[in-house]
Structure 1
Amino acid sequence: MLLQDVLDDAELGIRVLHGDRAMLDRPVLRTCTTDMPDPTRYVSAGSLVFSGLVWHKSAEDSDLFVKHLARMGVTALAAGEALLGAVPDDVVAACIRHRLPLVSVPADMPFSRIIERLTARMSGARMDRLQNGLARQRRLLEAVADGRSIDDLLARTASEFGADAWLLTATGVCLVGDEHLDEDTVDHLVESALTAERLPHTTGDYTVLSVGAGLRDRASSWLLVVRHTGPGRADCLDAFGELAAVAALDRVRRDERRRSTWDTCDATGVVAGAATAFDASRRLVTVVARRVPVHPRAGVVTTDRLHSLRAVLCDALPGSVSALDGDRVVLTVAGENTDVGMLLRRRLSRIVPASEGTGLRIGVSATCTLGSLAGAIATATALAADDGDLPEPVSVRVAAMDSAAELFSAVPDRLRHDFARRVLGPVLDHDLSNDGGLLPTLEVFLACSGSWRRTADRIHVHLNTVRYRIGKVEKLTGRDLSRLDDKLDVYLALRSLHMQQS
């Protein structure tokens, strides 16, 4: 039943005070009565709400009451004229402001009589819809058994009702859907769904339905979006509700396949997984992500949250290969690092309403190939580990080829390893046999820009000890650390060692 059907019943005498044609085509799924100043607990989406305006004392009361109703997604407000003689202008103004249809009920028409009449009509309509729904559900299940894809079922259902429909992830990636949805619309739809108290949720011409677990794990949820403005809207949403149940089965199968792939990558590592998934010449990007508490009540990052983060990242970057590394998720995906960084910023920002007090720190490597993947992982790990002074809930740091170190990270891993061994091999061998502490001293010396005094203070040894150890390094490596080119060789060799260790 539509709101217009209620107005067309002449015996009820209900007349419209605010509402255009599209508003009057809203479905009436149920009726309820409330005069509580905050009606939130007593109404639900799709309701025609009857109120005697007992709560009305001022324009502020009207605005608050109507705002609550609009937020809950009710179909319309039916205001009685018995108490005040007429519906106050500020109630009308509030409904206009919050885009909520408003109808008036004559003083001599009891709410109970209207509700009984509408309930009888809705019961008959509900039985018809139930029978139609069962028949439609049987057809959907038969289609699934025959091997029809969710793409085909969505297209057929949309065509049947003259609607547009999309299956989205919470990151806004379109899994199924022919018509283009612009990014701003996707932003709005996802935010509306993730902040709604319940689904289905209607915003403008769009209705968002949950798929499967709904909003239990909102960040990795699937959303079925329907745009339908013609007649038969209630039947249309019923049909897509049944399709959402079928889509949930499709998601279960997809998640099972994904978990099998994840288990393999966790056992072999993301480098081996990428070698299986991508050609040697393919341009790749590595992403490292971790959750960090940004709110005192966020608590620790649990295993479930880590798996949820992995699912979110795989949704945001389709076709990626992923593995867990301690408290981090490591992914490799085909593409260019600037493009991947832009996608992550846009798509991950959409799940902020579902962040539960945690933030995301994302590192994106320079573009590389399979041969330099280990170095790319080390670069992305370092970027993800640097919190800095970042209040944003989602921070995406993208490596830029604007330093020798970043350029060196793109060199194939085997060449970097050989370079590090040739430059620092004698130092490593000396420390291994004599425990001389040359390598740690060298690291601090370079970090202190070659200052003897600051190095001695940092590692708590005598100044002459630092001079002796650095002199020993120069003798073993054949490098003069007062020369810029030799110092750069040693620095890059040290960085390569750190990449191998990470």
Structure 2
Amino acid sequence: MAHSNGPGQGAAAPAVEHLSVGDLAAMEQFDCQVLAGAAGLGRPVVWAHSCELEDPWRWLGADELLMTVGICVPRGARAQRRLVAGLHAAELAGIAIGDDLKAPPLTRALLDTADELGFPVLLVGHTTPFAAIGRTVAMASQSEQVRRLVRVSRLYEPARTAAFRGGSLLGRLSAELGHRLHVLDVALGSEVFRQDHPLDPDVLARLRDATADRLGRLPARLCVDGVDGAEGVRATALALSTHRPCMLVAEGPGELDADGFLLLHVQSLVSVEVERAERERAARCDSGAELWERLVDGGFGDEAGTLALDGFGLAGPRTALGIPAESRAVAAALLGDADVPVLLGRERGEAAVLLVGTARADEVVELLRDRVPAIGVSASGTAVGQLPDTARQARWALQAAVASGGGVADYETAAPILLPRTVADAEHATRTVLGALIDHDRQHGTELLHTLETFLAGDRSWREASESLRIHRQTLGYRLRKVEAVTGRSLRSTGDVAVLWMALLARRITEL
């Protein structure tokens, strides 16, 4: 639709307190760009008028927006400076120039004058009809829909700026809605974006309880109070369209009372921000895993390794933590939410190892211990060349924690569980007890070692082992008898079972 260019076409409207030139510029549907005079974006707009006559301020009045395809814009710096000065003196709201290639080149004099006077100069996309802008201004004082669009446009403005991310975006939206906003992963009980004022613990617990059996399809809206309604704390939780089971939680003295149309846009904005943050965290986690693998495999010298670690915020003494492989995704989410600098290695066997600054190791353990069944903690070290041993210690301690039934085990105090303390000792124990079984599997293509480990890990439950291995109980019995024949040890003997189990743990250590 072409821009109109008659001398007096427009739409009158009574003044609206909140509709300004900046509001119109923020509406994405108008495809506006602020060329100059940003200081005057707060000017109110009561009329939007299209005019292509010379000296257009003669035909418009105060607080009216001039819309032009550029025919009324003169050529030359002096004439363009006079145009802006005349429009400003007549107290117009601003000028919107259609991007139709009909306007002469805008000079630096025009833009500088507009900046000096705080007179907004907008460039309007060529597909935007001036009639649409005129109707919006005319309806602003009468239509609640337009007022909602204005508010939504204000919400989208910070989202375009890199400075308004995560907690900053939530802060801006919180000010708009009058409630403190949080993004809660209701499965983990973790806030996706760290803030100075975390969600009330009682509210958090009640939200998790209310959604525990509904994670696959979160309720669209929930309202919960703190314990006994303490201090009137009340939270309104809204489901978000994210891969993680997240809800936007508005915390305040009462239930969130906001327009549903506005809330839909807020939810959309926050959902997009959560997904963006998750992509960035995943990319950083992947690059950290690659670095960690190279460090453990000796792919860096001390100087290069130190620089690389410094880049990840891991300067100074460092500690490694071993966790079960199946807990890696949970750990990645929790550590990303907490914004803790770590290198999280990929799964190796049944474990994954992460590296954290020693000063924050206790914090990380506390963060993970309720969601990760077993954690092994290495000794602290500084030298890059020590990192392979640090990783090995974390795995050693993890096996100690697993053997003790879970919890946290420290390498320096976990010796009594009888695990070998050196790779050579672990290899010797593995070879002495399991060597014949390993050779038999390699030579005959069997899975006796895996069968033994599955059987013992399941507390020697025939049903559990058969189901896990997907074999018949008779097949399991045949394999276990073969294990006994090859190893010379009986699975009915507590002593032999203990030796076999410790050898399996030692074998895991040799797989570092």
Which bin holds the TM-score, normalised by the shorter protein? 0.3 to 0.5
* TM-score, reference length from structure 1: 0.44
